[in-house]
Structure 1
Amino acid sequence: MPSETYRLAIPSTTHPYISYGLPFPEACAKHVSSTLNASRVYIIASKSLSMNTDALERLRSALSDKVVGERVGMIPHTLWSEVLQVAEEVRDCKADLIVTLGAGSLTDAAKIVALAIANNAFDFPSLQRLANYNSSNPLDPSSIRTPTVTAINIPTSLSGGEYQDLAGGTHDETFNKHGFKHPDMGAKVVILDPKLAATTPARIWLSTGIRAVDHCVETICSPETNDEADEAAVKGLKRLVPGLLVCKYSEGKEDEKARLECMLGVIDAMAAVKKGVPLGASHGIGHQLGPLGVGHGETSCILLPAVCKFNMRHAAKDNLVRKQRTVSDALWGLKDVVQVLERRGLEREQADLGDLLDVVISELGMPRSLKDVGVGREKLDALARNSLDDKWCKTNAVPLTEKNQVMEILETVLE
């Protein structure tokens, strides 16, 4: 008889709680009724998951007559037009809870939908006024009304958005990704089911895992990090990197155990992020690379090693060397990781962090260049200009304030 583990994901926060150990339909039905006392549920489900598995059917069956509406499939990176469509549907069917079944874009959509409904934002100008996660928006954050439609997330990737009180949405016309933030935004319960996660295509699972690794690395390497954030980030790395390597090559019970370990590693990564440490250029450039059609996570696979190399070339060396050494030492201390590093010819005293990350990401079979994901040189100029507006490019270990700096990084990952 399976038993449930139910606890706060991150002890220093008020939400979300995590649930694992029960099949996801059973856990969801339990928490819809008993924990959140919801009666009208709107489901946002992954199209591929709905077409290729019985996951949505099982969820519908478990929730029964509580389901009042659903959306199957959303374009990656959360287009504003689709967010507004869903917001109108959720409002019109008087849903009091959104359940997401799928990866990070759906998680972000549910957050923005709830924020839009609470603030009567059902067109682009109204939504633009809520895009408060940037320095140029004059709207007082305290004037933004608190979302009242709650959420349960059932994630199938490792992007980690379930544990953040911010979301990203892409403007259909400019293709810029804008941030939305509110302390009460996001799921109250996150349900982790490694058996469900096993249906996720390997490329999505592994690449979003590297996104979580990116959270850890850029936290530790930030000039503004702190001991608590570093501790959580190192803990996350020690779960994520070996777990991803096992997921790449294993099946059955060993794979399920590794998938749960990766999911818990994501929580460690997000605990680090929640300490408020500004991240760096892998995230900053990646935010603008995503709307060009590059999947969640693949941006980190391409950019993170290159950003680490760029920072080593240009930063004040002593402090950054120490920070990057913290990450390298953590990786060299993991048996499964060391086997991969040594098999690929790396030596501990010679290889820098960019080299280690390059090997790990390549071992997972993930894309390592813009060419691999269909982004050509003609896109670089606009990509570099848009990246300069991202706050995390400005908080990189070497602040990116000029287009030529971004271009230097992009040139190294072009092919």
Structure 2
Amino acid sequence: MPSSPPTTTWSRWSGTTGPARTLRSGQCATRFIHSAKPFEGDARREHLVADFLENHAYRIPGAERVESGVGRVDALRKSVTRLGASRVLVASSKSVVEKTPNVDRVQGALAGCAVEVFGGCRQHSPESDIEAMIVAIARHGADAVVSIGGSSIFDTVKIATSRHADRTGAEPIPQIAIPTTLSAGEFTYGAGYTEEETQSKKLALDPRVAPRIVVLDPEVTIDTPAELWLSSGIKALDHALEAVWAIRPHPYVEPLALEAIRLLFENLPSSRDPANLESRAACQFAAWMSISGAGASGMRLSHFLGHQIGARLHIPHGITSCILLPSVMRHLRDKTLAAQGRIAVAMGLSRANLAPEKLADAAADRLETFIADLGLPHSIDAAGGTPEDIDAITVASFAAATQLGLADDLPEGPESIRRILLGGG
């Protein structure tokens, strides 16, 4: 194969000298060091060249505009004006409304154009919440929704605006999303919801209802509970890892996913201090990068199983990733060995003449330790599940996996799922 030019990458470092640019958003500055060093030398370049020659399709998955920086939420009225809206429904959850100043701050920034605060969005987006929001939109003639919180809130809004449009024959009303976690649902047009009668998680896809504007302001994350913030960071890692070891990897997506892994391993631990806005902003950008695979790469086992156990056991999205991700990594090792080597390097591990299998094992151990050091639950029983729950989830999940074309990753059928859920890989 002819030699290829060096790959240019962007990596964030602390206290490193060299050619640099400072990227500023509002009052928040993050320093990136430009390096001509490729991700992993010649082998990495050959991998990318091979990917470039494949047939690919990529759909831009999310917002048409991302506004970022400390204090950016205070400019919300300009964002609403940009959408041509004047009657805004504010959507959030009971905890965000009652335990943080964020909704009051949003209402103040909207300067009188908020018609109602819909504070009833619950975890995993039950259908009854969706229907209640549709009623609120119609009652006020709302022409935009500003949502603030995590992915369950954004999912509720996306499905509500989609169904409202279908029922009225109008275009969906536009959304502005302000995330307080790192789950990154604000960057996609997909939404999960819970069918309450069966307690099963369903997926809705409607390209019309991705939030038009996303506002990344680290200040609004200050009051996010520590476990929620950190576990949603593991959810972002989940997105990134699944993009790298995807069944249909994409050469545009992978560099972003690898950079997301680097940024999260470097910044998520220090972001435990709510006052460390630089680390929190870096994590927000990492979450944005991590979700780029939604436009091309699709999901694999961790994301899929996370939705299954989350809806059935009422476990938050981020905690499902803490439970599943190391085990899924071990389970997929032999099928995704080269990808796991690149992931290991992004985590900060050295190849050091390790065999590919040993490097992948070291990466899974590194991930498991990383999660544990953050003080997060990393087993179903630690999150409140029981052996009986595992039995029910195993059977239902394998049937769903077969429908989604994921059965090839489960060579022993339901028993493969059982081992993953029990942490055996």
Give yes or no for TM over 0.5: yes
In the alignment, the residues of structure 2 paired with residue 167 and residue 156 of structure 1 have an alpha-carbon distance, to the nearest angstrom, of 17
Moved more, 255-264 or 395-404: 395-404
Where in structure 2 are the equivalents of 1:210-359 lying within 5 Å?
210-248=234-272, 250-252=273-275, 255-274=276-295, 276-291=296-311, 292-312=313-333, 315-316=334-335, 320-332=336-348, 351-359=361-369
Where in structure 2 are the equivalents of 1:10-409 lying within 5 Å?
15-21=63-69, 23-33=71-81, 35-120=82-167, 147-248=171-272, 250-252=273-275, 255-274=276-295, 276-291=296-311, 292-312=313-333, 315-316=334-335, 320-332=336-348, 351-388=361-398, 389-390=400-401, 394-395=405-406, 398-399=409-410, 402-409=413-420
Q: What is the number of residues matched between the two proteins?
A: 365
In the alignment, the residues of structure 1 paired with residue 116 and residue 228 of structure 2 have an alpha-carbon distance, to the nearest angstrom, of 27
In the alignment, the residues of structure 2 paired with residue 350 and residue 13 of structure 1 have an alpha-carbon distance, to the nearest angstrom, of 30
Letter in 2 for 1:293: H
Cα pair 2:87 2:142 within 8 Å, conserved: yes
Cα pair 1:246 1:258 within 8 Å, conserved: yes
Cα pair 1:279 1:396 within 8 Å, conserved: no
- Per-residue CA deviations over 1:117-167 (Å, capped at 9, x if unaligned) read 01129xxxxxxxxxxxxxxxxxxxxxxx77421100111000101111110
Moved more, 50-59 or 237-246: 50-59
Cα pair 1:84 1:113 within 8 Å, conserved: yes
The offset of 1:64, in angstroms, is 3.4
Cα pair 1:74 1:106 within 8 Å, conserved: yes
Taking a change above 3 Å as real, the CA distance of residues 411 and 146 of structure 1, as seen in their structure-2 partners, is farther
In the alignment, the residues of structure 2 paired with residue 99 and residue 210 of structure 1 have an alpha-carbon distance, to the nearest angstrom, of 26
Moved more, 173-182 or 61-70: 61-70
Cα pair 1:74 1:82 within 8 Å, conserved: yes
In the alignment, the residues of structure 2 paired with residue 115 and residue 237 of structure 1 have an alpha-carbon distance, to the nearest angstrom, of 33
Cα pair 1:4 1:20 within 8 Å, conserved: no
Structure 1 unmatched ranges of 5 or more: 122-144, 335-347
In the alignment, the residues of structure 2 paired with residue 234 and residue 302 of structure 1 have an alpha-carbon distance, to the nearest angstrom, of 21
The offset of 1:327, in angstroms, is 0.3
The offset of 1:251, in angstroms, is 5.0
What's the TM-score once normalised by structure 1's chain length? 0.81
Letter in 1 for 2:302: S
Fraction of identical pairs, as percent? 27
In the alignment, the residues of structure 2 paired with residue 235 and residue 303 of structure 1 have an alpha-carbon distance, to the nearest angstrom, of 22
Aligned residue for 2:40? Answer: none
State the Cα RMSD in Å: 2.7
The offset of 1:293, in angstroms, is 1.1
Cα pair 1:44 1:72 within 8 Å, conserved: yes
In the alignment, the residues of structure 2 paired with residue 327 and residue 40 of structure 1 have an alpha-carbon distance, to the nearest angstrom, of 46
